[in-house]
């Protein structure tokens, strides 16, 4: 059996075509992998955003409770020993 000899041009063309096909397939697979990776990153960022929004709401509620007038007055009376002013400590000014 005799093998047909390929010309140098045919070998180069076949090798070039094969390399181009491999490059296109590699690029396509890389693009799919990047799309999936970006999807995971977007999902993680969305979950982190939701967690931070919950934390902000919790901190706002804590801030409101710490700044409530009843708590401030209780702290002033119990921990700082403050009391209501006596009548002789209040000074009224006449607006002229």
For the chain, first and last CA: distance in Å? Answer: 125
27-74 pLDDT, tens digit each: 999 999 999 999 999 999 999 999 999 999 999 999 998 888 888 888
* pLDDT at residue number 34: 97
Residue 4 has pLDDT above 90, yes or no: no
Q: Residue 84: what are its φ and ψ, rounded to 5°?
A: -65, 145
The answer to whether the beta carbons of residues 69 and 63 sit under 8 Å apart is: no
77-88 pLDDT, tens digit each: 899 888 888 888
* pLDDT at residue number 63: 93
Residue 1 has pLDDT above 70, yes or no: no
Please report, for the chain, the start and end positions of each structural domain, with discontinuous segments joined by +.
8-81
How many contiguous H segments (helices) and E segments (strands) does the chain have? 2, 0
Give the 3-state DSSP-derived string for 38-70, with helices as H, strands as E and coil as C: HHHHHHHHHHHHHHHHHHHHHHHHHHHHHCCHH
* pLDDT at residue number 10: 93
């Amino acid at each position: 059996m005799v093998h047909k000899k390929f010309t140098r041009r045919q070998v180069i063309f076949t090798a070039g075509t094969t390399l181009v096909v491999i490059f296109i397939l590699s690029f396509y697979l890389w693009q799919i992998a990047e799309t999936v990776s970006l999807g995971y990153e977007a999902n993680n960022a969305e979950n982190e955003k939701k967690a931070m929004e919950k934390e902000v709401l919790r901190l706002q509620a804590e801030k409101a409770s710490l700044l409530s007038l009843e708590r401030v007055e209780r702290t002033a009376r119990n921990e700082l020993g403050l009391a209501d002013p006596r009548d002789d400590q209040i000074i009224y000014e006449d607006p002229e």
